[in-house]
Structure 1
Amino acid sequence: MTALVAATPAVDTDAIGHAAASCLRREIATYPKPGLVSPVDAGAHDDMDAAMMNRSADALAPYLAALAQAGAAGAGMDRLRAIGIAAEAAMMVATGGVNTHRGAIFGMGLLCAATGFRARYGIAAPLGTIVAQHWGAEILRGPVALHSHGTTVARRHAAGGARAEAAAGFPALYATALPALATARRLRPDNRNAQAVQVLMALIVGVADTNLLYRGGPAGLAFAQDEASAFLATGGIAAADWRARAIAVHHRFVARRLSPGGCADLLAMTFFVAAHDA
């Protein structure tokens, strides 16, 4: 960590990193999540569990703080990317080589950088807008990981994925997730777990998740979106039996080995943006 950007005294970057890691842990703790890892089970995953994912989140906290530091210093994408690569290496050490949070390092990392930038320069703009305006062009023209799942899916299915989402200022967060969270808070004001399930279902419907496309192709994505849409159309978390119905959806995802990992990252990012853009 010796090469990290020095903190700007006016910005509490450690608090930003801690908050971001806490949002990752909150996503992990949510249940039931279709096909995803939780403290109850490993979902459609054979190589990770909740304990491993929490170790990963804890390992990422100082790097998320470093990204906030870099944002506060006005750094460009090259610097953010270097910190992200270091974060990924730390994740791999914490997990024994399992990719638990690569997508979250990218998306949550950009939000942390934007938070640091906004705090340092006093800009009155949503975090997504700051990401798009300050780093959007660099995100699109930056290097592409040739053998990543996201790149494979982009080639096969012409899906924009995380890069396009970030460069556009995270429209899925602002157009889908945050409105869903507002609705969920009205429906179940005292149940944060239920609120998270509602948001995740809305994201599955509204996002062409590249993890679903990688695992199940267009048919898998369509199945996942139909299941989540049906859950919401029949009341979502407002229904008395919402939990049992969500568990049934989860089991159907597991049976098909489907896991909406991109939506899980966006769920954690929703928690962060809801707290920092309020």
Structure 2
Amino acid sequence: MTSREDETLAQAAVAALTGQLALAPKPGLPDPRDLAARATRVDHRALRWSAKALAPGLAAMAAAARRTGEPTPRLRAELGAIGRSTEHSVGLAGGGHRGALWTLGLLVAAAALDPRARGAEVAATAKRIAAHTDRGAPRRPSRGSTVSAKYGAAGARGEARAGFPHVRRALGALAAARTAGATEPQARLDALLIVMSTLQDTELLHTAGPVGLRLVQAGARAVLEAGGTSTQAGREALASLDTDLHTRAWSPRGSAGLLAGALFVDSLPVIAQVKAV
């Protein structure tokens, strides 16, 4: 049974995901601009709708963590089982968000385990959960794990077991951009580009190979080196990267899920204020 706190965490995670979806222009990624004509073939409204289907599963993950009280192998197995059930529900609602579910599920569970944790502390707790093996996971390797093994990339599992370094980098980028006077959308886009600039995105490795991945990383760095999305030069570089990725049908989906994770962790102080009211 979930509590009000569990539901609050789940809704905050869904809000982080829909907030990520609302950003534009996101190079190679779904956003509000005429998605039906894009290589993703997924309508933006459908993605927003299916994101809501994550809420019950995320609340159940928070409840499991709160009930268990420690990042144990048992908790890891329970989170895996809830995650697989939630994937099925999301599929019925339109699909998508598999990578975001992995990231948000671990971070929601971590926040439930330690309600006072913020920022890197939440990522560190998620690392302790992810360190355990999910014994109930299907033995058949996923596409992501196959690509990770082929190219030696960390992949989603490696990212979690390292304490979500790209979530932490995105949090730092959000803080820096806000301090520099960027608008909130600009700060979030800069955070996305920070992730894209170094992440070994298995989706990109699958579709574009190592050379394509390096081109995307270099394109993201070019936007940041031009001053980021709060500058005219940065916006022009972003538009060029966006056009290039959509022409090639390359989508850095792993970066999008990690940005959603960062936006969730960033929202935790607000959650604490809501609970106190």
| 1:105 equivalent among 101, 105, 113 | 101
| 1:59 equivalent among 53, 69, 80 | 53
Structure 1: how far apart are the matches of 2:180 and 2:56?
35
- Note if 1:23 corresponds to 2:22: no
Query: TM-score, with normalisation over the residues of structure 2?
Result: 0.88
- Note if 1:160 corresponds to 2:154: yes
* CA separation of 1:274 and 1:46: change in aligned 2, threshold 3 A: closer
Tell whether the 8 Å contact from 1:145 to 1:151 is kept in structure 2 after alignment.
Answer: no
Structure 1: how far apart are the matches of 2:136 and 2:193?
31
Structure 1: how far apart are the matches of 2:22 and 2:117?
33
- Note if 1:169 corresponds to 2:169: no
Deviations, residues 87-108 of structure 1 (Å, cap 9, x unaligned): 100110000xx4x111111110
Structure 1: how far apart are the matches of 2:241 and 2:117?
42
Deviations, residues 119-177 of structure 1 (Å, cap 9, x unaligned): 3xx668711111122x1321487746635321221122011201011112111222x21
The AA in structure 2 aligned to 1:130 is: T
* CA separation of 1:137 and 1:241: change in aligned 2, threshold 3 A: closer
- 2:85 is aligned to 86
- 2:31 is aligned to 38
Query: TM-score, with normalisation over the residues of structure 1?
Result: 0.87
Offset of 1:116 from its aligned partner? 1.1
Structure 1: how far apart are the matches of 2:184 and 2:117?
30
- Note if 1:47 corresponds to 2:41: yes
* CA separation of 1:165 and 1:195: change in aligned 2, threshold 3 A: same
Q: CA RMSD in A?
A: 2.2
Superposition map of 1:182-193 within 5 A: 182-189=175-182, 191-193=183-185
Structure 2: how far apart are the matches of 1:262 and 1:277?
25
How many pairs were matched up? Answer: 263
* CA separation of 1:57 and 1:33: change in aligned 2, threshold 3 A: same
Deviations, residues 227-258 of structure 1 (Å, cap 9, x unaligned): 01111111112423433432221110111111
- Can you give the 5+ residue segments of structure 2 that lack an aligned partner in the other structure? 69-73, 271-277
Tell whether the 8 Å contact from 2:77 to 2:135 is kept in structure 1 after alignment.
Answer: no
- Can you give the 5+ residue segments of structure 1 that lack an aligned partner in the other structure? 1-5
* CA separation of 1:142 and 1:207: change in aligned 2, threshold 3 A: farther
- Note if 1:131 corresponds to 2:126: yes
- 1:3 is aligned to none
The AA in structure 2 aligned to 1:47 is: R
Tell whether the 8 Å contact from 1:140 to 1:163 is kept in structure 2 after alignment.
Answer: no
Tell whether the 8 Å contact from 1:201 to 1:228 is kept in structure 2 after alignment.
Answer: yes
Superposition map of 1:134-153 within 5 A: 135-139=129-133, 143=137, 146-153=140-147
The AA in structure 2 aligned to 1:200 is: L
* CA separation of 1:146 and 1:47: change in aligned 2, threshold 3 A: farther
- Note if 1:220 corresponds to 2:212: yes
| 1:252 equivalent among 244, 252, 256 | 244
Percent identical pairs in the alignment equals 34
Deviations, residues 53-85 of structure 1 (Å, cap 9, x unaligned): 101111111111111111111251111011101
Structure 1: how far apart are the matches of 2:134 and 2:81?
16
- Note if 1:115 corresponds to 2:108: no
Structure 2: how far apart are the matches of 1:197 and 1:26?
11
* CA separation of 1:222 and 1:140: change in aligned 2, threshold 3 A: farther
- 1:264 is aligned to 256
- Note if 1:179 corresponds to 2:172: yes
Structure 1: how far apart are the matches of 2:134 and 2:63?
23
* CA separation of 1:180 and 1:44: change in aligned 2, threshold 3 A: farther
